Structure 1
């Protein structure tokens, strides 16, 4: 909690300030096509672009629009799915390139990154499809300039002025006052469930699954380690790959399987508190469930494809 809140605060503050000084107008060329093709509002499209830099700030933007009744719950769900691929791009230079490739090697690392990217891209395509089905032509705001001005941006004479900073700080403070208490309660409940071993029981199904699929026992070991700690799972997979204990295919299956088995823990520990605090328990849980289910389905399809190769 102590580590999460400052990150959220910085992300929201930076995005609000960028909007208030008009910096986000630089992305108009990206925002218009997304808004037009997905049938979502310009601010929702802006949140998709923002997700490339900070998913927390992007979701906070959607929360603010939803509270102001400028977008619908369906638009929020569709937009969070559309944001999946831009969201994974934000981890490209902070996790995938500096961590995954050195550990797994260039070939296996690139394949693994591509698989994770494919999962995110599939969710983005699903989001576009749902947005076009649900929203049609009923877009609340179609002009990005007016969206910025009406929803976030102060008058032109404040841009770059201290008032833009003050406005950003006040907006961030208001959002944190609403987000932090809910997040604290949710994190406490999740920690309580984890302490009782509710999520750990799920990992017990790994070995039966690998036995049924006729996979090496080391795959179960990598998957179980990844559930406890992603970095440890990667390092173990890299060691097995270097020592030829597992092939590249086995390593990919192990990491993807670990991702599938641990999805309930990850979504409960990381996604649920943030989404519930931003969108409320009902919509927040729905967003997490839909995103989690989509990820799970695509992951399973990839694992089956790898096993059959």
Structure 2
């Protein structure tokens, strides 16, 4: 490949990787400080209703709370807990699943409320956001049930936090604020050195692949899906638009609500657009991000679990809407 073709990709990817690295650093640094200051009990109070039945340690509650503010930071915390031995792979997958609803919450205030609902109108807007919230909550509860059934003391080790953070070297009273900050900084740098290079490499490779791959072929799935659930033919271009850009899809369907589409049909159409978009977003965003955080092997498992559960519960929601 000519350097002239590679450099634009590099300039496109590096700011994205830098932004993600900042969020990961904040998440991991916060996770270490929370443990060092003994704040786990306070922060994880509400989330214990989820982590307790799922047989997960209280530390995971800090990641859940953080995910509501930043998905990347929340994932950074979970990566730290997995790396330190607090969670094994099975427990990490359960924790990632439970995080789903809290990752959705942040989008309510940053996108759904200020952007999507005004475009769609209150009735359809609230129906759509409510459907997405119900889907996310169902996935989170599925994670809780999975943890209750599949996890035991063999899958988690809360004492690994203390061992990894050096808590055995000095008591909390003996540690100065400076030493705790330095220790958290060292652990954060160690995590970044492991994750960021891998993240950058995968992002570059995927971006290069996107330049030579026609992702629009995935939208060939739109027509069979809309026909299967009995939606109007006009749903196909809406699904295609929605798969590539949520705002554009919402703007395209809004004028047709009440004429071509009933409110329920409109919501079902947008949800099907979400199914198609997973094929695109997985390729463009999930693979680089998850591989960067976890590595290819475990990252593939996270993607499979996330995507599989979303498709299942979106399909159930569509079936209810068109019934």
Kindly indicate whether residue 16 of structure 2 is the aligned counterpart of residue 4 of structure 1: yes
Evaluate the alpha carbon distance shift between residue 13 and residue 182 of structure 1 in structure 2; reply closer, same or farther with a 3 A threshold: closer
Tell me the residue number matched to 1:15.
Answer: 27
Tell me the residue number matched to 2:239.
Answer: 223
Question: Deviation of residue 99 (structure 1)?
Answer: 1.2
Question: Deviation of residue 33 (structure 1)?
Answer: 3.2
Structural RMSD (CA): 2.7
Question: Deviation of residue 134 (structure 1)?
Answer: 1.7
Question: Deviation of residue 77 (structure 1)?
Answer: 0.5
Kindly indicate whether residue 312 of structure 2 is the aligned counterpart of residue 300 of structure 1: no
Q: Structure 2, unaligned stretches of length 5 or more?
A: 1-12
Cα separation, 2, equivalents of 1:25 and 1:6: 32
Kindly indicate whether residue 103 of structure 2 is the aligned counterpart of residue 50 of structure 1: no
Tell me the residue number matched to 2:272.
Answer: 257
Cα separation, 2, equivalents of 1:230 and 1:85: 19
Please identify, of 225-234 and 203-212, the stretch whose mean Cα deviation from structure 2 is larger: 203-212
Aligned residues: 304
Contact 1:84 1:120 in 2 (8 A): yes
Question: Deviation of residue 139 (structure 1)?
Answer: 6.0
Please identify, of 26-35 and 298-307, the stretch whose mean Cα deviation from structure 2 is larger: 26-35
Evaluate the alpha carbon distance shift between residue 3 and residue 307 of structure 1 in structure 2; reply closer, same or farther with a 3 A threshold: farther
Evaluate the alpha carbon distance shift between residue 148 and residue 106 of structure 1 in structure 2; reply closer, same or farther with a 3 A threshold: farther
Contact 1:11 1:54 in 2 (8 A): yes
Question: Deviation of residue 89 (structure 1)?
Answer: 0.8
TM-score w.r.t. length of structure 2? 0.83
Tell me the residue number matched to 2:108.
Answer: 92
Please identify, of 298-307 and 79-88, the stretch whose mean Cα deviation from structure 2 is larger: 298-307
Cα separation, 1, equivalents of 2:166 and 2:260: 57
Q: Secondary structure at 1:217's aligned position in 2?
A: coil
Cα separation, 1, equivalents of 2:75 and 2:203: 18
Partner of residue 278 from structure 1, selected from 293, 312, 318: 293
Tell me the residue number matched to 2:213.
Answer: 197
Contact 1:193 1:199 in 2 (8 A): no
Tell me the residue number matched to 2:193.
Answer: 177
Evaluate the alpha carbon distance shift between residue 278 and residue 30 of structure 1 in structure 2; reply closer, same or farther with a 3 A threshold: same
